[in-house]
Amino acid sequence: MNGVIHLDTLYLIVKYPYLDTFEYWYRHAERVEYRFLKEGIRCGDFVVKGGSSCYKVSVWQHDARAYFTDQVDQKVGENKGSGIWVQLGPMFLIHHANNLQVAVKEFLNLLGVKGDYPTKINRLDLAMDLFEVSMKEQDLDFWRQGWVGRSKVSDFHLNSRTGDLETIYIGSRKSAVFLRVYDKLAQAISEGDINYWFDIWQGYQGEVARVEWQVKPKDGNFPKDLQDFENFSGFTIRELLNYLLEWGRLCIPNPSDSNNRRWEDAPFWKKVRELTYSWRDGVDWPLSRYGKEFHGISEGYVNFVSGTLSGAMARFKLENPSFIGMIDGLQENGHSMEAIQRIAAKKAALISRL
57 with 199, same domain?
no
The pTM of this model reads 0.85
**pLDDT of 285 over the 50 cut:** no
Lowest mean pLDDT among 31-40, 101-110, 150-159, 212-221: 31-40
- Supply angle C-alpha 235, 288, 226, rounded to 5: 20
Instruction: Look at residue 242 and tell me if it is in a domain.
Output: yes
313 with 272, same domain?
no
Mean pLDDT of 167-182: 96
162 with 228, same domain?
yes
The rounded mean pLDDT for the chain is 90
201 with 334, same domain?
no
Tens digit of pLDDT for each residue in 54-112? 999 999 999 999 999 999 999 999 999 999 999 999 999 999 988 999 999 999 999 99
47 with 27, same domain?
yes
Instruction: Look at residue 54 and tell me if it is in a domain.
Output: yes
224 with 276, same domain?
yes
Phi then psi for 15, rounded to 5 degrees? -80, 65
Which secondary-structure segment (H or E) carries 22? helix 20-26
Cα distance between residue 329 and residue 309, in whole Å: 13
Are the CB atoms for 151 and 173 separated by under 8 Å? no
Residue 147: which region, alpha, beta or left (left: phi > 0; alpha: psi -120 to 50)?
beta
54 with 132, same domain?
no
The last residue of a domain, from among 287, 307, 337: 287
Instruction: Look at residue 294 and tell me if it is in a domain.
Output: no
More confident residue, 350 or 339: 339
Mean pLDDT of 129-148: 96
Going by C-alpha positions, the residue among 208, 245, 239, 207 that lies closest to residue 223 is 239
Per the structure, how many domains does the chain have? Answer: 3
**pLDDT of 283 over the 60 cut:** no
148 with 176, same domain?
yes
275 with 338, same domain?
no
259 with 330, same domain?
no
Residue 284 binned pLDDT confidence (cut-offs 50, 70, 90): very low
Going by C-alpha positions, the residue among 90, 21, 88, 97 that lies closest to residue 60 is 88
* pLDDT value, residue 281: 65
Instruction: Look at residue 9 and tell me if it is in a domain.
Output: no
281 with 344, same domain?
no
Neighbour-count burial of 239, counting CB atoms closer than 10 A to its CB (0-12 exposed, 13-18 middle, 19+ buried): middle
Q: Domain containing 322: what range?
A: 299-351
